[in-house]
Amino acid sequence: MLKTVIETTEGLNEALVPFYKEQDGKFHLQIEGVREHPDVLNLVNAYERVKADREAVKADRDKLKALADDIPEDFDADKWAKLKDGKADEAAQIQLRQEYEAKIEDLQGQLTATQEKALKNALDRDLTDALTEAGVTNPAFAKAARTMLSDGVKVSEDGSPYVETDMGPLRLGEHVKRWAAGDGKDFVTAPKGGGGKGGEGGGKSTNPLLSKVPALADLPEK
């Protein structure tokens, strides 16, 4: 019987020597179709099964690792098990609810602070800029106009100031422009050299709004 691996070809039938090839200090029998040999085929199939099992284990490992990365650091396995089985005691339920209520309250506080800051910016900057652009440049009239218009100013989710009107919500700048062309037209400063009404005429002002809005210059800044 021929051996697949031998230490030396000495003493081997000369006709068989060409069928051996030296490799790593030994002589290996060169055989065609070795994978089809029953014994070799069994080994190959076993290796393929092990390889497939190894890939499946690797996939499961990666899946579990991804799940583990999503678990919060303060995760309590005992609490989860009780909740899952419907056996959570009342004290644990109360504590868990209180924890979530505290988190919600904190987030609500942050949201409120952000909205208040955005509204303050809208009143301090955007309303003043809109009035100036609409022609309300007299300091006393501008102060009075800010007082009159500020209560209706709101801030949208994207941080843009707006005002609710009978025609629906309007951006602050557009609302001030319409107000200055209508109810607030007497607040608008007449162009220099123009003949229209305004808050900056020569001598004492005869603007009718001065009788309706007392002590304009004494109004507090918004």
Q: What is the pLDDT of residues 179-208, one digit of tens each?
A: 899 888 889 887 765 444 444 444 444 455
Of the candidates 184, 182, 212, 187, which has an alpha carbon nearest to the alpha carbon of residue 198? 187
User: What radius of gyration, in Å, describes the C-alpha atoms of the chain?
Assistant: 44
Tally Cβ neighbours within 10 Å of residue 122: 21
- pLDDT band, residue 109 (cuts 50/70/90): confident
Quote the pLDDT of residue 84. Answer: 66
Quote the pLDDT of residue 54. Answer: 83
CA distance 99 to 35: 65
139-156 core/surface letters (b: 16 or more CB in 10 A; e: else): ebbbbbbbeebeeebebe
Of the candidates 213, 219, 151, which has an alpha carbon nearest to the alpha carbon of residue 186? 213
Quote the pLDDT of residue 122. Answer: 65
Residue ranges per structural domain of the chain: 5-70, 77-109, 117-218
Which amino acid makes up residue 95?
Answer: Q
Q: Residue 219, class by beta-carbon neighbours within 10 Å (0-12 exposed, 13-18 middle, 19+ buried)?
A: middle
Task: List, for residues 41-95, the tens digit of each pLDDT value.
Answer: 777 778 788 888 888 888 888 888 777 777 777 777 777 776 666 665 677 778 8
Quote the pLDDT of residue 117. Answer: 74
- The answer to whether residues 92 and 79 touch, using CB atoms and an 8 Å cutoff, is yes
169-206 core/surface letters (b: 16 or more CB in 10 A; e: else): ebebbebbbbbbeeebeebbbeeeeeeebbbeeeeebe
**Tokens found for residue 12:** 């081997």
Task: List, for residues 112-144, the tens digit of each pLDDT value.
Answer: 777 677 777 666 788 888 888 889 888 888 888
> How far apart, in Å, are the Cα atoms of 108 and each of 9, 101, 209?
87, 10, 42
